[in-house]
Amino acid sequence: MPYSVLQPVQRRRRSRSKRPLVLLAVAALAAAGSLAATQHWAFAHGKPHRQHSAAGLTPKPVSARTLKQLRAAASEQQVAARAPFAPGTRLLLPGAPRLQHTALGPISAPSAILIDAKTGAVLWAKRAHRRRPIASTTKIMTGVLALENLRPTKVVRVNPLVTRVALSREGLRAHERVPVWKLMYGLMLFSGNDDALQLAIATAGSRGAFLRLMNEKANDLGLRDTHYTSPSGVVDRGNFSSAYDLAALARYAMAIPQFRAITRTHIAHIKWAKPTYAKTYVNKNQLLVTYRGADGVKTGWTTIAGHCLVVSARRGGKRMIAVVLHAPDPYGDARRLLNFGFANS
C-alpha cells in the first residue's frame, strides 16, 4: 500500500560510534601512567614531585619565643610609623641661645627656656639643664606613649588598682570599660592620676613595665636630664627632668596630631556609660583662653616641684614653646617668654 502524505513516518536512528569515548579513556589511562612513572622516578632520585594540596600549605609551628619576637618587631614598626620625627633626630639644635643677650623682663622661675618649635632652635634659657621635679608635666610622656602604642578607639577595662591611686582622680570605677581617647582627655585636661595609671597598664601591662618604657623613650629622644618613677608625676622622688628636656619633649609631642588636638581643647563634654552618663573636662592651662594663639601643653604642681608649666603658642607661621619650673608666677613668666619670642624671631 503506498504511503499517504498524512501518514506519519518513523525516522531510523543512526547508531553513534563509540570510538571517541574509547580514545578518551585510553588517553586518561596513559596520563595517569605517566604521572605515576614520574612520581616513582622523582622519589627514587630524592626529588619528590610537589603537590599543591592542603597538607602542603600547612604552616610550620612557631615557638612562643619566636612569636614574641615577631610581635615585638611589629609593635616597634608601628611605633616608628607613628613617630613624628625620624629616629636619631635632634629635637633641639645645639649652640648658644640665639636671643640670650636681647633684653627680656624678669623671669621668676629658677629654670626656664624658650624655643622655636618649627626649627628646634633655643632662643633663650635660664639654668635649662638643672634637674628638677616636674609634677604633672610628666603626663606629656605618658600621653605620647599611649598614643604611639594604643589605638584611640581601643576599649580598656579599668584595673582596680587605678581607683586607689593617690591624690587627684577623676573617679574611674573598677572594671568599667573606657576607650583610650576618653582617658586621654582625662589625662591632659583634668590631669587625672587614675587616667595616667590606667593608660600605663593598658600600654605596657603593668606600672613597672611602663616606667621602663618611659625611661627607654626618654633615652631614645636624647633627654639626658630626665628620669621617671611615676606615670603621673604624683611621686617627686626620683621623678625629674629639666626645662631643656621638657621643651624637647613638648616639641615632639606637639608634632603628633592627636596629641595636639587634645591638648589645645579648653572644655570637653564626654558621653559616659551609666550610671555616670556624662563628664566635663576643663583644661587647667589658663593661657588657652587668656593668650592669643596658645594651644598647649601641660600644667603641673606638687609641694616640692612648685608650679610647673609647659606652654605652646602659634601665631602666623611661628610656633613657640616655653617651659618654666618651680615658678612663683608661671603664667606671667610664660607670657613674657612667648611675647619675647614672637617679637624677636
- Cα of 78 vs its chain's centroid, Å: 8
pLDDT score for 87: 84
Out of 111, 126, 182, 191, which one is annotated catalytic? 191
Based on the residue annotation, tell me whether 284 is a catalytic residue of this protein.
no
Q: What is the pLDDT of residues 31-89, one digit of tens each?
A: 555 555 555 444 444 444 444 444 445 556 667 777 666 665 655 555 555 678 888 88
8 Å CB contact between 191 and 284? yes
pLDDT at 44: 45
Q: Which of 111, 126, 139, 241 is an active site residue?
A: 139
pLDDT at residue 14 greater than cutoff 80: no
What is the model's pTM?
A: 0.77
* C-alpha count within 13 angstroms, C-beta hemisphere, residue 13: 3
Which is catalytic among the residues 136, 230, 242, 312?
136
What mean pLDDT, rounded, does the chain reach?
86
Choose between 203 and 345: higher pLDDT: 203
Instruction: Quick: pLDDT tens for 87-109.
Output: 888 999 999 999 988 989 899 99
Radius of gyration for the chain, computed over Cα atoms and rounded to the nearest angstrom: 35
pLDDT band at 4 (very low <50, low <70, confident <90, very high): very low
Tell me 327's DSSP state: -
Which has the closest alpha carbon to 342: 102, 92, 96? Answer: 102
Q: Residue 211: which pLDDT band, with cuts at 50, 70 and 90?
A: very high
Q: Please write the tens of the pLDDT for every residue from 267-278.
A: 999 999 999 999
Scanning the structure block, which residue is given the C-alpha cell 614672637? Answer: 342
Report pLDDT for 167: 86
Is position 136 annotated as part of the catalytic site?
yes
